[in-house]
Chain A
Amino acid sequence: MSTVRTVAQRASAQRGVLAVVAALVVLTTGVVGASAALLVASDGDAPRAAFAAATPAERSLAVGMKVAAPSETNIVMEAAPAEDAATAELRRLAAPARLTTSQWLESPLLTTAASGPLQSSSATAYLAAISGDAPVTMLSGSAPTGTVGSDGALPVAVPSAAQRALGWKVGDTVRLHDFTDATVTVLKVTGVYEAHDAMHAWGFDQLGGAGGGTLGMPGTQDSASVPAYGPLLTSTDALAAGHVQVARVQVTGAVDLAGTTPADARAIADRLPDAQVDMVAALQTKTLSVDPLDLRAGTLIDGVLARLAVTRTIVLVAVLVLLLVGGAAALLAARMLAEQRTGETALMMARGSTRGQVLVLAGLEALGLAVLVTAVSPVLAALLVRAVGAAIGSASVPGLGASLGSPLVWVASAACAVLLSSLLLVPYLRRGAEAGRPVQTRPGAATLGSVLAQSAGVVVLVVLAGVATWQLWTRPLAPGGTTDPILVVAPGLMVLAGSLLLVRALPLVARAGDRAASRSRGMVAPLALWETGRRPERAAQSVLLVTFAVAAAVFAVTTLDTWRTSQVDQAELAVGAPVRLEHTVADPLQASADVAAFAGRHHADLQPVTVGHASIAPDQSELTPDPTRVLAVDDGAALHGRLSLVAGLGGVSSWGDVVNALARPEPMTPPAGPLLPDGTTMLTAVAQVDAVPVFDSASAPQFTLQAVVEDARGVQSVRPLLLDRGNHPVSGTGPALLSGTLRDDGGAVTGVRLVGFRVLLGAAVVPNSQNATPQVTAKIAGLAAADAAGKATPVDLGSGWAARGTQYAFEPEGLVTSNYATPTMLQGLADAKVADGTLVISRAVEPPELEHFGASMVAAPSTDGTFPGLQLVKGSKLYAVPPVPAVITQDLAQTYKAVPGSRLQVITDDGEGDVEVIVMAVAQYLPGGSGPGVLVRRDELQRASGPLGLAPLAVDEWWGTAAAGSDVAAASAAPPGTVLTIPGAISDLRDGPDRVGVQAALLLLAGCALLLAVTGAATSVAGGLQLRRLELARLAALGASRASLVRSVLVEHGFLLGLGIVAGAAVGGLTAGLLAARFAVGADGGLPIPQALFEAPWAWLTVLVVALVGLAAVAVGTTAQSLVGRARADLLRLGADR
C-alpha cells in the first residue's frame, strides 16, 4: 500500500510531464488500434463487400460440353445426366459457398437447304434455350414460350441479323433440316431480338451474340465454313422435351461469395487449378468433350485476396513505422520525466533505496499508464477511423467499418500501450549513467572515425535493410493473397537504419556549427549551436524523433501518391477515355443515332472508335500468330492516359495531339456523294447486271446491290438493296426494283450521305470462256429516298464517279474479304460514269475468278476520276495506298525491331484488309488496354482500307468526354450500352472496400507522425528549458534579454528540426522510392499495367513540411515563451540546489 501511495505521489508531482507522456502514448496506441481495426475489416467486412459488389458474371464458374455430334460421329448422348454431373461438380468446387446455376442447351447446326449439298444461297442456324432471363432486347414480337404448338411449330425468337439476311420476321414459319437425316424442324418466329451484354453473357455462344456470321460446316472438320445465324431462342422445355436434339450444354454457376470468409474463398481458389481435370473426370462417360472451364470466380477471388493482402501489408508496414516514431517520442518523454526526477531519485538512493526499488516504482507507474492508455485508446481508434474515413470520402465503405469491438483491436492496443509505457524505464536501465543527468561532450570530440566506430549496430541495420530491399527487387512477389513478411518489415527497417545512420552524423554537423558559433559575434545563434553540439544526446534524440516522423510521413504520403497514381494509371489505361461507351446495337447508323441522343442527354461528346484485332508482319510472309489490338480513333475521342509513356512524337501534350500528329499531309477529302433528305427510311433503285458476252439465262448469277451510307459522325453502314423489300438477292440479269432500309429497325436517318455502291456478283458460268475477258456491267437508275410515309424523293447521283474492282469471298450478306487485293491486278481496274441519271459501273473479270468467286465492284463519287483514297502513280495506271501513320506499342516494336519510320503490314481479323502502317512513335501502352497494339487515326485507316472494298470500318465503341456536372456515369447500365468512365474506374480501383484500407493506414501514419513530431518537439523544448532554467536565469542576470533567449531556443530547435526534416525526407523518400511501387497491384492482384512508377507529390510534401514547421514553431515558440522567464532572483539564490 505504501508503494502504491508512493507511486501516486510521484505521479502527482510530475502530473504535467506524465500528461504529455500519456498523450504521446495514447495517440500512438490509438492509431495502432485503428490499424488493427483495418486489419479486422480486411479479413471480414472488406472481402464480403468486395465479393458482394461483383456481378454474377464475375462470380461465375461455367463448363460447356458437347453431348452430341450427329453429323460427325453419329454419337448422341443424353443431356440431362451430363448437366446434373456438371452441376454437382461445380457445387463441389464452390463449396462451402452457395451456387446458383443456369443452363444453356443448344441444338446441332441445322440448315435451310431442303436436301443435297449446301448451296451458296443456303444458310444454317441453331437453336438454344437459356434458363432464366436471356440477355436480349426484343426488337419486335415477343419471347417464345411453351413447346410445340397445335400447328406443329416450335416458337422461336430470331436474332436481328437473321431477319436482315434471311428476311425472317414475326409470324413466319421456318423449316430447318438436319444435316444427316434431313429431319425437318418447323419453327414459328414469335419475335426478333438483339443480344446485349455481348462481352459477358454470350461467351458460350458460337457467334458470340452477334446473331450472324460463319461457322464450320458440319462434317468437314471446319475445313469449310457456312453462313450461320443463331441462336434461335426457344424455351428450355422445348429442348428438354426432345423436340429438338441437344448437342451442346453449358452449366453456369454464380458463386454466392457474399458470406464467404477469406479462408473459404482461398479454399475455393485453391481447388480451381485442378478443376478442369476434375470436371473431365466427372463427365468423361457422359459427354463427348468438355470445353475449357470458365473460372471467372477464381479470378475474382484471387484478385480480392491479393488486393487484401496488399492492404494488410501496408497496414502492418504503417504500424511498424509508426511504432518507431511513437517509440522515439516515448523515449524522449521518458528522458524528460527522468530529468525532472533527478533530484528525487538521487535523494531516494542517498536514503538507501536500491536501483531495483527505483525501477519498481517506475515500472508500477508505467503499468498504470499502460492500463489507462489501453482503456482510452480504442475510443480514439474509433474516432480516428471515422475521421480518416471522412477525409477520404469512404466512411461508409465496409473496409473502414467499425471493427473496434474485435479482440484484436484491444490486444493490439494493450500491447502497444505496454510497449511504449515500458520505455519509461529505459533511463533507469542505463548502466554507468545517473538517470536524467545530461551528458556533455567537448567540442571537437566527434570525429568521423569515432562516429563510425560507434555505429557498428547501425551498419548492421543498414546491411539488413539493403538485403531486404534487394530481395524485394530481385525475386517475384509473394503469391497473391499472402502477406510478404519481407515487404512488411523492409520499410520499417529502412526508416530505422537510415534515420540512425544520418543521426549518427549529427555530431559532425554540430561540430561545424560549434566552430562557427565560436567565431561569431552575437549570442543568440552560438548559444543555440553550443547547446546542440555540447549536449548531443538530447539533440540526437530530438533529431531522431523528427527524422523518424518525417521519414514516416514522407514515406506514407509518397507511397500513397504512388499507389493512387498507379490506380489512376490503370483506370485510365483500361478505360482509355474519360467516357467510353460500348454500344449493344449492331446496326451502325442506329447505334450512332442512339449514342448521339444519349450524348446529348448527358452532355457528353462521344466519337466512334474502331477496336479491332489484327495480325502484324514486317511483310506478308511473316504473320505473327498473336493478335494485336488495332485502335482507330478520331482526334476528338479524347484518349486518356499518361502521355509520358509515349516516345517519338515531340511537342505533344495530349493523346489528342498524338492522334492529330498521325494525320497524313495530304488533305482529307470531305465526304462526297448526295445528302439524303432527313427522315429517309429507305432507298429504292432499279438495278441491272449484265456481261459481255452476255450471261446465259440458265446460269445467270445472283447479285446484290449494296448502298454505302455515312452519317455526320463518320459512321458508315452498308445497306443491301434487295427484291421485295429485303427478302432476296436478284437472280438473273433483268432490271429489278430493289429497296432497303437504312436502319435495322426501319427508323429514319438524319444527315446521312450516300458515299458509294457495292455490287456483288455471285459465281457464274462464263460464256465462251475461250473468248475475250468478260466485261461485267451494273446499271443503277431511279435512285430515290423514301420516308416513313412512303413518299419518295429522287436522289441526284451527280456526275463524277469512280469505280474499282475488288475481290470478295462470300455471300449472301456481302462479307467482303479482300485481303490480297493487289492494286496492280486486273481486278483493280473498273470504270464508273453517270449518264441520264443512270450510274454505270463496269469492269473486266478474269474467267477463273468469275467462275469460282464471282466478282465485285465498288463505286464512289469522285471529283478527279480516281477512286477516293487512292493515289494515281504518275505515268501508269497503278494505284498506291500510302501507309497509315501509327503509334505502336513497345512490345510490338521490340518484336519487329521497328523504329519510327519502319513499315508494318496490319492484317485485320475482320476482313477490313491489309493495311500498311508507318511507325511514327513508340508507346509503352495504348489507351484502352494492354498488350501489343497499333494506334491510328480512324479516318486515315478508313481512307486506306476503304479503297480495297469500300468496306466501312466497324464502330465498336464510342469514346469521348463529358461536360462538367454530366450524369453520364450514372447511366452506366442504360441503353444504348455500357458506359465506363475513368472516374468510375478510378473509384473502383482506389476506393473499393478491399483497397480503402491502404489509404486509411497511410493517412493515419502521416497524420500521427506529424503530431508526434510536433508534440515531441514541444516536449524536447520543455525538458531542455526545465533543465537549463538556472543557466538561463544567470544569462538573464548577465543582461541577456528574454526575447534573445527565446530566439536562441527557437534557433536551436529550428536547427534540430531542419536537420530532422532533411534527414527524414531523405530516408522517407529513399524508402518510398525503393519500395512504394512494390505496393501497387493490378485489379487482378497481379503486377499493375502500366507498371507503377514512383511518384513524389511535391505539393503535398511541401504542405507536410510547412505544416510541420509551422506547428512545431508554434509549439516550440509557445513553450519557450512560457518557460523562459525574466531573470529570477529566487532561482539565482537557490543556485544548484534549485
Chain B
Amino acid sequence: MAATTITEPIVQVTGLRRVYGSGDAAVRALDGVSFEVSPGELVAVVGRSGSGKTTLLNLVGGLDALQEGTITVAGRDVGGLDEAGLDALRRDVVGFVFQSFGLVPTLSASENVGIPLRLRGVPVEEREERVALLLELVGLSGHAAQRPGEMSGGQQQRVAIARALASSPRLLIADEPTGQLDSETGLAVMALLRGIVEAEGMTILVATHDPTLVALADRVLHLQDGQLTQHVAS
C-alpha cells in the first residue's frame, strides 16, 4: 500500500467512552478509545463480537449518543451536533454500509441507490445518471429494476455500497459488510471497497473480523473489551 501523506485527519476520536446500562449491570462498550483516520485511508476495526466495533462505528457516524470523549468527522464535532446537524452529517459526509445490507425491500436496486440523492434534492436526470454510474461501478447495471428479495446477498451488499457512495461521502462506514456473505463474495465486496478508496480517494472505516479482509486495509485498529489495544499499519 502506498503511504498517504496525512494532512488533516478526517476522523479524530479522543477519550471515547460508552457505557450501556447502569450500576452493577453497566457494560463498558468503549473505554477511552482514541485514534485518527486520515483522508483516503481504509481502516479496519477488528475485534471479537462484543468488543465494541459497531458501537464505535455508530458513534463516529452519529447514530449513537456520545457519552464521553470527542469525535470530529470532517471537522465537525459530532457530540456538539443537534439532530439536524447529525442528519446533515449522515446525509452529506458519511455513508453507511450495514451488515444486513439495509436496503428498503419494496424498492428496486436503482431506487435504493437513489435514496441519498433524493434526500439531497438532486435533480431527477442527474440522479438517474449517478445511479446508473454507481450500479455500473458495482457491476449491477443489469439488475437496476430488481428488488432486494430478488438478488443474492452479494448483489444486495453491492447495491448497499452503491447507495452509500451515491452522495459522494467523504467517509464510508461499513459495519461487517461481508458478515452475511460467503468468503468469495466477501472478498469481492472488500475488493470493491478497496478499489473505491483508490479510485475516489474516499476514506473507509470498516468493522470486520475476517482476516482476509483485514489484509486489504491500510491500517487496522484492534478493539478488545472496549479498549483499543493496538494500531497496526498494513
Contact = CB atoms under 8 A, between A and B. Distances in A.
Contacts of A520: 124
Interface string B77-118: 000000110111011100010111010111100010001101
A1037 B90 contact: yes
Interface string B52-70: 0011001001111000000
Interface stretch (A237-245, A346-354, A1116-1124, A1129-1137): A1129-1137
Contact of A440 (B62, B99, B106, B124): B106
A526 B118 contact: yes
A523 B111 contact: no
A1042 B91 CA distance: 13
16 contacts: A519-B124, A1031-B105, A1034-B102, A1035-B104, A1036-B90, A1037-B61, A1037-B90, A1040-B91, A1041-B87, A1042-B87, A1126-B83, A1127-B63, A1127-B90, A1129-B64, A1133-B58, A1136-B100
B199 to A, nearest CB: 22
Contact of A1132 (B63, B105, B120, B147): B63
A965 interface: no
Interface residues of B, number: 40
Contacts of B91: 1038-1040
B87 A1040 contact: yes
A62 B104 CA distance: 84
A1031 B87 contact: no
A179 interface: no
Contact of B106 (A531, A1034, A1035, A1036): A531
A1031 B87 CA distance: 16
A1128 B147 CA distance: 25
Nearest to B88: A1039
B106 A1037 contact: no
Nearest to B61: A1037
Nearest to A519: B124
A1038 B116 contact: yes
A1135 B123 CA distance: 31
B118 to A, nearest CB: 4
B90 A521 contact: no
Contacts of A1031: 104-105
Nearest to A1031: B104
A1136 B61 CA distance: 20
Contacts of A526: 118
Contacts of A1039: 87-88, 90-92, 116, 119-120, 167
Given A521-B123, A522-B121, A1038-B91, A534 B96 contact: no
A1033 to B, nearest CB: 9
Interface centre among B83, B88, B121, B163 (most CB of A within 10 A): B83
B137 interface: no
Contact of A521 (B61, B62, B118, B163): B118
B122 interface: yes
A535 B104 CA distance: 12
Nearest to B99: A1135
A570 B106 CA distance: 59
Given A440-B105, A518-B111, A1127-B90, A1037 B96 contact: yes
A539 to B, nearest CB: 12
CB-CB nearest 8 A-B residue pairs: A1039-B91, A1135-B100, A1129-B58, A534-B106, A523-B118, A1129-B64, A1039-B90, A1034-B102
Contact of A1034 (B64, B92, B98, B147): B98
B104 A1034 contact: yes
Contacts of A1038: 90-91, 96, 115-116, 119, 163
A530 interface: yes
Interface in A469-521: 518-521
Contacts of A1135: 98-100, 102
A1037 B123 contact: no
Contact of A523 (B58, B115, B149): B115
Interface in A1093-1131: 1126-1129
B12 to A, nearest CB: 20
A1040 B86 CA distance: 10
A1034 B103 CA distance: 8
Nearest to A1041: B87
B56 to A, nearest CB: 11
A530 B90 contact: no
A440 B96 CA distance: 26
Nearest to A1032: B104
Given A1031-B105, A1038-B163, A1132 B118 contact: no
A1040 B96 CA distance: 13
B90 A1035 contact: no
A339 to B, nearest CB: 15
Given A521-B127, A1040-B115, 5 more contacts: A521-B123, A522-B118, A1129-B55, A1129-B63, A1133-B58
A526 B98 CA distance: 23
Contacts of A1133: 54, 58, 175
A805 to B, nearest CB: 100
In this complex, which of B84, B102, B111, B122 has the most chain A Cβ atoms within 10 angstroms of its Cβ? B102
B198 to A, nearest CB: 25
Most chain B CB within 10 A, of A1031, A1036, A1135, is at A1135
Contacts of B88: 1039
Contacts of A521: 118, 121-124, 127
Contacts of A442: 147
A1035 B104 CA distance: 8
Contacts of A1040: 87, 91, 115, 119
A1039 B83 CA distance: 10
A526 B167 CA distance: 19
A520 B87 CA distance: 22
Select the residue from A1035, A1039, A1041 with max chain B CB neighbours within 10 A.
A1039
A718 to B, nearest CB: 93
Interface in A1004-1048: 1031, 1034-1042, 1044
A426 B127 CA distance: 44
A1037 B95 CA distance: 9
Contacts of A1035: 104, 115
Contacts of B61: 1037
Contacts of B167: 1039
B180 to A, nearest CB: 9
A519 B127 CA distance: 10
Contacts of B55: 1129
Contacts of B121: 521-522
Most A CB within 10 A of own CB, among B63, B123, B149: B63
* Residue in A521, A534, A1036, A1132 whose Cβ sees the most chain B Cβ within 10 Å: A1132
Interface in A359-407: none
